[in-house]
Structure 1
Amino acid sequence: MNMNVITVIREEFKTITHSYAILLVLMGGIFVYGLLYNYMYAPNVVRKVPVVVVDHSRSELSRRYTRLLDATPQVGVTATAADYTEAREMMKTGRAAGILYLPDDFEDRVSRGEQSVFVMYETTITFLYYLSIEEASAGSMLALNEGYRPEMLVFLPQQAAPKLASAQPITVVGTILYNPTEGYGTYLIPAVLIVIIFQILMMLIGTISGGERHSGTIVRYAGNPMKLSFGQMANVVIGKTFTYSMLYVVFTLFLLGLLPLAFGLPDLGSHLHIIMLMIPFLMATSFFGLTASLFFTDSEMPPLMIPFFSVGLLFLSGISYPMELMPWYWQLAHYLIPAAPATMAYVKLTSMGASMGEIGHEYITLWVQCAVYFVAACWVYRYNIRKAIKGKTRVTMVAKNASASCS
Structure 2
Amino acid sequence: MQQFKNFFSELQEAFKQELINTGRLNKTAIMLLLLMPVIYTIIFGYTYAANVLNDIPVAVCDLQQSKISRTAIFNYDTSDRFNIVKHVNSLDELEACIKSGQAKVGLYIEPNLDKRIKTALPAEISILIDATNVVYGSAALVAAEEINMNLKVAGEQKILERLSYYPDKALNVAYPAAISLRILNNPTNSYTNFMLLGLVCNGIQISLYLYTADTFIKNRSRRWTFPTALLLGKTLAIGITSLTSFIFCLWLAHTIFAVPLRAPWYEFLSLLVAFELLFITLGIFFALAFGRAVNAIQDTLLFIMPGLLYSGLSWPNEWVGSLPAYIRALFPITYLAIPLRDLSLQGYSVLLNNDIVVLFTGTIILALIDYVLLRYRLGKEAAI
TM-score bracket for the superposition, by shorter chain length: 0.5 to 0.7
> What is the Cα deviation at residue 368 of structure 1?
0.8
- Cα distance 1:139–1:120, how it changes in 2: closer, same or farther (>3 A)? farther
> What is the Cα deviation at residue 218 of structure 1?
5.7
Q: Percent identity?
A: 16
Q: 1:185 aligns with which of 168, 183, 192?
A: 192
Matches within 5 A, 1:6-405: 6-15=12-21, 23-26=30-33, 29-46=36-53, 49-55=54-60, 58-59=63-64, 66-67=73-74, 69-70=76-77, 72=79, 74-80=80-86, 99-101=104-106, 107=110, 118=128, 120=130, 132-133=139-140, 135-136=142-143, 175-209=182-216, 212=217, 217=218, 219-220=220-221, 223=224, 232-293=226-287, 294-295=289-290, 297-299=292-294, 302=297, 306=301, 309=304, 312-354=306-348, 359-385=352-378, 393=384
- Cα distance 1:234–1:308, how it changes in 2: closer, same or farther (>3 A)? closer
In structure 2, distance between residues paired with 1:295 and 1:102 = 59
> What is the Cα deviation at residue 275 of structure 1?
1.7
Alignment-derived partner of residue 167 in structure 1: none
> What is the Cα deviation at residue 273 of structure 1?
1.9
In structure 2, distance between residues paired with 1:302 and 1:64 = 60
In structure 2, distance between residues paired with 1:329 and 1:296 = 32
> What is the Cα deviation at residue 329 of structure 1?
4.1
> What is the Cα deviation at residue 64 of structure 1?
7.5
In structure 2, distance between residues paired with 1:304 and 1:376 = 18
For the residue of structure 1 that corresponds to 2:293, the secondary structure is coil
For the residue of structure 2 that corresponds to 1:4, the secondary structure is helix
For the residue of structure 2 that corresponds to 1:336, the secondary structure is coil
Residue deviations 1:374-403 (CA, integer Å, cap 9, x gap)? 11222333455566678xx5xxxxxxxxxx
TM-score, with length taken from structure 2: 0.68
8 Å contact kept, 2:304–2:331: no
- Cα distance 1:325–1:128, how it changes in 2: closer, same or farther (>3 A)? closer
TM-score, with length taken from structure 1: 0.65
For the residue of structure 1 that corresponds to 2:283, the secondary structure is helix
Give RMSD over aligned pairs: 4.7
In structure 1, distance between residues paired with 2:124 and 2:290 = 56
> What is the Cα deviation at residue 254 of structure 1?
1.2
- Cα distance 1:77–1:304, how it changes in 2: closer, same or farther (>3 A)? farther
1:220 aligned partner, one-letter code: S
- Cα distance 1:370–1:142, how it changes in 2: closer, same or farther (>3 A)? farther
In structure 2, distance between residues paired with 1:19 and 1:354 = 37
Structure 1: give runs of 5+ residues left out of the alignment.
Answer: 93-97, 147-169, 225-231, 394-407
2:14 aligned partner, one-letter code: V
1:337 aligned partner, one-letter code: F
Residue deviations 1:67-111 (CA, integer Å, cap 9, x gap)? 564465x52335435689xx89xx99xxxxx554568xx849x99
> What is the Cα deviation at residue 264 of structure 1?
0.6
- Cα distance 1:315–1:171, how it changes in 2: closer, same or farther (>3 A)? farther
Alignment-derived partner of residue 400 in structure 1: none
In structure 2, distance between residues paired with 1:347 and 1:176 = 16
8 Å contact kept, 2:224–2:230: no
2:221 aligned partner, one-letter code: R
For the residue of structure 1 that corresponds to 2:83, the secondary structure is strand
Residue deviations 1:313-353 (CA, integer Å, cap 9, x gap)? 34433343343443444333444332211222222222111
Residue range with higher mean Cα deviation, 183-192 or 56-65: 56-65
Q: Matched residue pairs, number? A: 339
